DNA sequence: ATGGTAGACTTTCTA
């Protein structure tokens, strides 16, 4: 079978339930992973999404911050949630499809403004989150697993609008990229988006603060789709829905897609 | 060197 998966930091699932519905209706991914739902699970508009065919869901939520959810047209069962940096935040949930493929939905900490763990506790927590992911997925190498989400790091020079100007900006500092790559390599994860689209600038996020996001195009690729090494060759048709950044009352992130023949 | 916008829920935090 072929299934299509999308990941999107929605920045409030309740405020943007109409945009979620639009992606469900127009793009029809089989599985849609959301981050930053900013809602307790019981206040997520589950009925609306079920009415569009997304009858299966798993979620972790908290009031006002964080929150992750997976909506699926395909049957799936929850297979747990981790608190990688032991912050008590809703930043991970996982589910397994009937074909045995497990999907991890991750929202990594943003890390604050100052890229120094002595001066900024949040930056240390971000690095620790990736260290914990490295330890977790390095202990038992994932098989038939997919990891998606807002990882809040743009690892490559062509994942940001200016490598040089962002070297000291949280999301693109060398120490973050080291932690990100160590976590990826420990799990044997393949960056599906970049395996599919190896060259050229790719962005999935544009700041709300920049005027004229489209013309300035000062974006970063913060949202990722990884596949375990055994199934990476089954991935194809990666794309980023840039148009969504121009919708009315948009999220600052846009959906990232990949399809898998499994 | 600084401020810019957005969301939740507060009179401020987080991104």
- Residue A53, judged by CB atoms within 10 A of its CB (0-12, 13-18, 19+), counts as middle
Question: Per the structure, how many domains does chain A have?
Answer: 1
Looking at residue A185, what is its pLDDT?
A: 98
Under the banding of pLDDT at 50, 70 and 90, the label for residue A250 is very high
Dist CA A232 CA A49 (whole Å): 29
The pLDDT tens digits for A13-51 are 999 999 999 999 999 999 999 999 999 999 999 999 999
- DSSP three-state, residue A164: helix
Which of A203, A150, A143 has its CA nearest to residue A35? A150
| Residue A249: nearest nucleotide (C-alpha to C1') | B6
CA A190 to chain centroid, in Å, comes to 14
Percent of chain A with pLDDT over 70: 100
Q: What is the pLDDT of residue A101?
A: 98
Nearest to A250 by CA among A215, A219, A213: A213
Is A30 marked as binding a ligand? Answer: no
What pLDDT band is residue A99 in, cutting at 50, 70 and 90? very high
Nearest nucleotide to the CA of A251, by C1', is B6
Residue A128: predicted pLDDT = 98
pLDDT at A52: 98
pLDDT confidence bin for A230, thresholds 50/70/90: very high
Query: What pLDDT was estimated at residue A25?
Result: 98
A126 touches strand B (CB under 7 A): no
- Residue A18 has what pLDDT? 98
* Annotated binding residue A11: no
**Other Cβ atoms closer than 10 A to A18:** 12
Please give, one letter per residue, the 3-state secondary structure of A167-225.
Answer: CCCCCCCHHHHHHHHHHHHHCCEEEHHHHHCCCCCCCCEECCCCCCHHHHCCEECCEEE
CA of A70 to C1' of B7 (A): 21
| pLDDT recorded at residue A24 | 98
Tell me the longest C-alpha to C-alpha distance in chain A.
50
* Full domain range(s) for residue A85: 2-261
pLDDT in tens, A152-193: 999 999 999 999 999 999 999 999 999 999 999 999 999 999
Query: Could you give the CA distance from residue A117 to residue A131 in angstroms, rounded to a whole number?
Result: 14
Distance A199 CA to B12 C1' (A): 42
The pLDDT value recorded for residue A179 is 98
Rounded to an integer, the average pLDDT of A194-207 is: 98
Q: CB of residue A65 closer than 7 A to nucleic acid strand B?
A: yes
Mean pLDDT score, A252-262:
98
Q: Domain containing A238 — which CATH number?
A: 3.60.10.10
Question: Which are the catalytic amino acids of A?
Answer: 107, 150, 253
The tens digit of pLDDT for each residue in A100-137 reads 999 999 999 999 999 999 999 999 999 999 999 999 99
Is the C-beta of residue A63 closer than 7 Å to nucleic acid chain B? yes
Q: How confident is the model at residue A68 (pLDDT cuts 50, 70, 90)?
A: very high
d(CA A148, CA A224): 5
The mean pLDDT of chain A is 97
Average pLDDT over residues A51-60: 98
The pLDDT value recorded for residue A236 is: 98
Do β-strands A145-150 and A102-107 pair in parallel, antiparallel, or remain unpaired?
A: parallel
């Amino acid at each position: 079978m072929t299934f299509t998966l999308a990941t999107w930091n929605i920045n409030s699932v309740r405020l943007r339930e109409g945009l979620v519905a639009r992606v469900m209706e127009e793009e029809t991914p089989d599985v849609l992973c959301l981050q930053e739902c900013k809602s307790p699970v019981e206040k997520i508009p589950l009925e609306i999404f079920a009415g569009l065919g997304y009858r299966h869901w798993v979620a972790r939520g908290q009031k006002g911050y964080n929150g992750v959810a997976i909506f699926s047209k395909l049957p799936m069962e929850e297979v747990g949630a981790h608190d990688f940096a032991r912050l008590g935040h809703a930043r991970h949930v996982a589910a397994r499809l009937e074909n045995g493929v497990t999907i991890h939905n991750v929202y990594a900490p943003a890390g604050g403004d100052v890229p120094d763990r002595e001066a900024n506790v949040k930056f240390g927590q971000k690095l620790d989150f990736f260290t914990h992911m490295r330890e977790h997925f390095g202990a038992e190498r994932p098989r038939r697993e997919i990891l998606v989400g807002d990882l809040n790091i743009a690892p490559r020079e062509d994942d940001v609008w200016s490598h040089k100007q962002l070297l000291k900006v949280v999301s693109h500092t060398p120490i973050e990229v080291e932690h990100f790559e160590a976590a990826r390599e420990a799990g044997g994860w393949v960056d599906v988006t970049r395996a599919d689209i190896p060259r050229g600038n790719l962005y999935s996020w544009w700041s709300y603060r920049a005027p004229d996001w489209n013309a300035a195009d000062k974006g970063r690729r913060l949202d990722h789709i990884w596949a375990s090494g055994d199934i990476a060759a089954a991935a194809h048709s990666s794309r980023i829905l840039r148009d969504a950044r121009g919708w009315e009352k948009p999220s600052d992130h846009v959906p990232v897609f990949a399809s898998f023949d499994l």
